Amino acid sequence: MRIDLHTHSTASDGTDSPGEVMRAASAAGLQVVALTDHDTTSGWAEAVDALPAGLSLVRGMEMSCAGRGADGRPVAVHLLAYLFDPGNEAFARERERLRAERTARLRGMAEKMAADGLPIDPDAVLAAAGPAAGRPHLARALVAAGVVGSVNEAFADLLRTGGRYFVTKADTPLPDAVRMVAAAGGVSVLAHPRASVRGHLMDMNQIGELVAEGLGGVEVAHHDHGAADERYLRGLAADLNLVVTGSSDYHGGNKSVVLGEFITAPDQYERLIAAATGVEVVTG
């Protein structure tokens, strides 16, 4: 069984619609795929409607969080939330707040660029971004305007954290996020926690602390993890009795990774879904 538990669609910063992600997952030979757009569940309904026969959908989300960095300062951390009840009021309010933060941050960055004379229309960028606006939407606008040659170039220069045009946003404290997912009947898994290429790493000691709050697992096999990172995380997960996942983090044309490039073992998948009480896996 081939299981990919981390993908993105046009509901956030992917380039394929939710339905296209489902069809591509089936064509890639997957039996299980999770849709985990940033801070939104807006792609769930289309994904369910488009499910090909034989493909199972794990409804999820990737949540923007603030963890504790290795140096003690706050650091951005992503939390994958699976099979939670989207109607849980506290969690729904927090997702709405996060999306508002995303919109304000993206507008602020676009307005800074426009003020500097770059050919960027903040209203047009936001209109094209959809429900979960993110820096990749601004990156694509910069590519289309001829300012940079690629999305990667945009992030390396104009969009980089701490750069000239960067604007901060208030993410959910990581312990609060883990508790919210658990209260909504879901299972939380830390996304790519050793991805040093993305910036500062979280303090690995915080992972053990989060188990008491309800953390369910750790994403281990990921294109931003090296072999040493995987070995470390597998050992840590074993010590803490956490589920181990592997995922492509597919974004369509925004990234070079392909569906199923990294996968989750069936026994780990079974542990994950057995722990969830929010919503069920849907099979086409």
Using one digit for the tens of pLDDT, what is the confidence trace for 203-213?
Answer: 999 999 999 99
Out of 21-30, 143-152, 231-240, pick the least confident: 143-152
What local confidence, expressed as pLDDT, does residue 273 receive?
Answer: 98
- Cβ atoms of residues 31 and 3 within 8 Å: yes
Residue 279 forms beta bridges with which residues? none
Q: Which residues of 32-65 are buried (b: 16+ CB within 10 A; e: fewer)?
A: bbbbbbbbbbbbbebbbebbeeebbbbbbbbbbb
Average pLDDT, the chain: 95
Q: Cα separation of 280 and 156, whole Å? A: 40
What local confidence, expressed as pLDDT, does residue 184 receive?
Answer: 98
- Cβ atoms of residues 135 and 120 within 8 Å: no
Q: C-alpha angle 284/255/139, rounded to 5°?
A: 120
pLDDT band at 45 (very low <50, low <70, confident <90, very high): very high
Q: Cα separation of 224 and 39, whole Å? A: 21
Tokens found for residue 167: 């604007």
Task: Give yes or no for residue 131 having a pLDDT over 90.
Answer: no
* Number of Cβ atoms within 10 Å of the Cβ of 116: 11
What local confidence, expressed as pLDDT, does residue 129 receive?
Answer: 87
Under 8 Å CB-to-CB from 117, ≥6 apart: which residues?
Answer: none
Tokens found for residue 264: 């989750």
Residue 82 forms beta bridges with which residues? 60, 187
What local confidence, expressed as pLDDT, does residue 161 receive?
Answer: 86
pLDDT band at 96 (very low <50, low <70, confident <90, very high): very high
Please state the domain extents for the chain: 3-96+169-283, 103-156
Q: Cα separation of 19 and 9, whole Å? A: 9
Average pLDDT over every residue of 24-47: 98
Average pLDDT over every residue of 90-117: 95
Using one digit for the tens of pLDDT, what is the confidence trace for 104-130?
Answer: 999 999 999 999 999 999 999 999 887
Q: Does domain 3-96+169-283 have CATH number 3.20.20.140?
A: yes
Q: Amino acid letter at 19?
A: G
- Cβ atoms of residues 31 and 5 within 8 Å: no
pLDDT band at 61 (very low <50, low <70, confident <90, very high): very high
Residue among 98, 83, 85, 75 at smallest CA distance from 12: 98
Using one digit for the tens of pLDDT, what is the confidence trace for 144-179?
Answer: 999 999 988 998 889 988 899 999 999 999 999 999
Between 53 and 195, name the one with better pLDDT: 53
pLDDT band at 222 (very low <50, low <70, confident <90, very high): very high
Residue among 127, 165, 118, 121 at smallest CA distance from 146: 118
Q: Cα separation of 142 and 148, whole Å? A: 6
What stretches of the chain show up as alpha helix (H) in DSSP?
18-27, 44-49, 89-115, 122-129, 135-144, 151-156, 174-183, 205-211, 227-240, 266-275
What local confidence, expressed as pLDDT, does residue 128 receive?
Answer: 87
Task: Give yes or no for residue 196 having a pLDDT over 90.
Answer: no
Residue 120, phi then psi, degrees to nearest 5: -125, 130
Task: Give yes or no for residue 255 having a pLDDT over 80.
Answer: no
